[in-house]
């Protein structure tokens, strides 16, 4: 399941904080901060989608992520490769290395990472 941009921004704050009350999440936003009603709506939506859980303390809820950032990001990248690169990681890698402004040292670092993964397989 995918998150909207505003839901993803909220999740990024929650992943960073690990657990937080609504006031903590509001404080994490830069100015202009969203309205508390907007934040409450976003929290309900991402809770309904299964991304967030919470513990109740009186009238307050402490929210925590149910989905790890790495797992979400991995799914998004795999979806991108499938949808835009015909499910071809090599087409994605070709596009990534040619269409981004990577320096020679960054490309060498990527090559080292790939070589290490090849060794591990």
What are the pLDDT digits (tens) for 70-96? 999 999 888 889 988 998 888 888 888
Pick the CATH number of 5-65 from 3.30.450.30, 1.10.10.10, 3.30.1360.120, 3.40.50.300: 1.10.10.10
Per-residue pLDDT of the chain (121 residues; tens, 9 = 90+): 789 999 999 999 999 999 999 999 999 999 999 999 999 999 999 999 999 999 999 999 999 999 999 999 999 888 889 988 998 888 888 888 888 888 889 989 988 998 898 989 8
Residue with tokens 């998150």: 3
| 3-state SS class at 90 | helix
- Give the tokens for residue 18: 């690990």
- pTM (2 d.p.): 0.78
Most distant pair of Cα atoms in the chain: their distance: 56
Domain boundaries, the chain: 5-65, 69-120
First to last CA, the chain: 30
């Amino acid at each position: 399941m995918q998150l909207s941009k505003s839901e993803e921004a909220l999740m990024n704050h929650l992943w960073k904080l690990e657990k937080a009350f609504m006031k903590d999440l509001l404080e994490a936003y830069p100015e202009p901060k969203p309205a508390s009603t907007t934040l409450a709506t976003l929290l309900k939506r991402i809770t309904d989608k299964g991304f967030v859980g919470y513990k109740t303390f009186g009238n307050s809820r402490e929210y925590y992520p149910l989905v790890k950032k790495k797992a979400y990001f991995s799914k998004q990248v795999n979806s991108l490769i499938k949808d835009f690169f015909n499910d071809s990681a090599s087409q994605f890698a070709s596009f990534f290395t040619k269409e981004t402004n990577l320096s020679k040292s960054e490309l060498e670092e990527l090559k080292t990472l790939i070589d290490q993964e090849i060794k591990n397989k």
